[in-house]
Amino acid sequence: FFFFFFFQAEDGIRDLVRSRGLGDVYKRQVSTQSTWEIMLGGFGPEQALDSEASQIIYSIKPQLEARFATTFYTFNPIAYRTQVVAGINYFFRVMVDGGKEIHTTVFQALPHEGGALSITEASLK
């Protein structure tokens, strides 16, 4: 005698939608977060400055002036975006003297590591 048993995943029996291994309960939940908010390491969309981002960019202005060996009389942050890594990378665009832009990346360490800010990249365009 030979017996053959075929098993099919529970969600495959009731659905035409293929399972991703998350089960019925998770597939049917509606996400209120956009993809960039939940994707670790992904870049967020460019957005206007909020109070937290403003505080960060203005706190590193002296470091940017030292890096470029100049004083910026015009320093208008245009926009920023973030990337979640082992902390947060902030990518800023700042309008400075002469209609030029600074593109800078500022890394903010995690709170349990002190939350320190450091410039990892800066270029004048």
pLDDT tens digits, one per residue of 51-94: 999 999 999 999 999 999 999 999 999 999 998 888 889 999 99
Please compute the mean of the pLDDT values over residues 12-26 and round it to a whole number.
51
pTM: 0.65
Of the candidates 50, 51, 75, the one whose C-alpha atom is nearest the C-alpha of residue 65 is 75
Quote the tokens at residue 25: 């309960």
Residue-level pLDDT at 95: 93
Asked whether residue 25 carries a pLDDT value surpassing 80, the answer given is: no
Of the candidates 122, 8, 13, the one whose C-alpha atom is nearest the C-alpha of residue 61 is 122
Of the candidates 101, 105, 83, the one whose C-alpha atom is nearest the C-alpha of residue 92 is 105
Residue-level pLDDT at 14: 52
Phi, psi of 79 (to 5 degrees): -160, 170
Residue-level pLDDT at 67: 92
Question: Residue 44's pLDDT band (boundaries 50, 70, 90)?
Answer: confident
Residue-level pLDDT at 101: 93
Helix (H, G, I), strand (E, B) or coil at 78: strand
The region that residue 21 occupies, defined by phi over 0 for left and psi between -120 and 50 for alpha, beta otherwise, is: left
Asked whether residue 31 carries a pLDDT value surpassing 90, the answer given is: no
